[in-house]
């Protein structure tokens, strides 16, 4: 069974640009969550999607947005990039996003802002 796939693995952007990251969950998983990981802040929850609807959201500015498609694949978009957005962005999927279900993570997209 294929795991969670994130593309691209690495990205370099400059301030002010925008970026789109992609995540394909494990087949059959309908919940997709996104996290930002930085050395100083650890893993911070961005948002969770289920059946194409954002069901839960963390404390990030509106520059961070996402969407989920009918096949459960998800994209995350960050607009007007700032230096502080440099981080590892992790996507995780679970069957239904219930609190008792473990999440399965992808390898992440490492975003560097110059």
Partner 1 sequence: AQKVTQAQTEISVVEKEDVTLDCVYETRDTTYYLFWYKQPPSGELVFLIRRNSFDEQNEISGRYSWNFQKSTSSFNFTITASQVVDSAVYFCALSEGTSGTYKYIFGTGTRLKVLA
Q: Which of 81, 80, 54 is nearest to 67 (CA)?
A: 54
Enter the DSSP assignment of 32. Answer: E
Alpha carbon 68 to chain centroid, angstroms: 11
Among 50, 72, 76, 81, binds partner 1 (CB under 8 A): 50
How would DSSP label each residue in 58-86?
A: -S--TTEEEEE-TTS-EEEEE-S--GGG-
Pick 81 or 92: Cβ nearer partner 1: 92
Pick 19 or 92: Cβ nearer partner 1: 92
Candidate ranges 12-20, 21-29, 40-48, 63-71; the one touching partner 1 (CB under 8 A): 40-48
Residue pointed to by tokens 């640009």: 17
Asked if 1 and 24 count as a contact pair (C-beta separation under 8 A), the reply is: no
x/- site string to partner 1, residues 94 to 113, per CB under 8 A?
A: ---xxxx-xxxxxxx-x---
Q: How many residues bind partner 1 (CB under 8 A)?
A: 24
> Rule CB under 8 A: is residue 45 a binding residue for partner 1?
yes
Among 21, 78, 90, 113, binds partner 1 (CB under 8 A): 90
Q: How far apart are CA 92 and CA 104, in angstroms?
A: 5
Site residues (vs partner 1, CB under 8 A): 3, 33, 35, 42-43, 45, 50, 55-56, 88, 90, 92, 97-100, 102-108, 110
């Amino acid at each position: 069974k294929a795991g969670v796939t994130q593309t691209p693995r690495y990205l370099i952007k400059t301030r002010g640009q925008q970026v789109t990251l992609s995540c394909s969950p494990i087949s059959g998983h309908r919940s997709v969550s996104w996290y930002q990981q930085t050395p100083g802040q650890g893993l911070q929850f961005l948002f969770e999607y289920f059946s194409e609807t954002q069901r839960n959201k963390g404390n990030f500015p509106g520059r961070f947005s996402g969407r989920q498609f009918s096949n459960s694949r998800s994209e995350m978009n960050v607009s007007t990039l700032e230096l502080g957005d440099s981080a590892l962005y992790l996507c995780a999927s679970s069957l239904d996003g219930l609190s008792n279900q473990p999440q399965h993570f992808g390898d992440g997209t490492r975003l560097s802002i110059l």
